Amino acid sequence: MQELGCTACQLDGVPSVPGEVHHLLSGGRRISHDHSVLLCPWHHRGLLPSGRKAEEFAEVHGPSLALTPNAFRRRYGDEEELLAIQDALLDHYQEVTQK
20-40 tens-digit pLDDT: 999 887 788 778 778 899 999
CA dist 47 and 73 (Å) reads 18
CA dist 21 and 73 (Å) reads 17
Any idea where the domains of the chain sit in the sequence?
A: 7-97
CA dist 76 and 40 (Å) reads 14
For residue 53, what pLDDT band results from cuts at 50, 70 and 90? very high
pTM of the model: 0.88
Is domain 7-97 classified as CATH 3.30.40?
Answer: yes
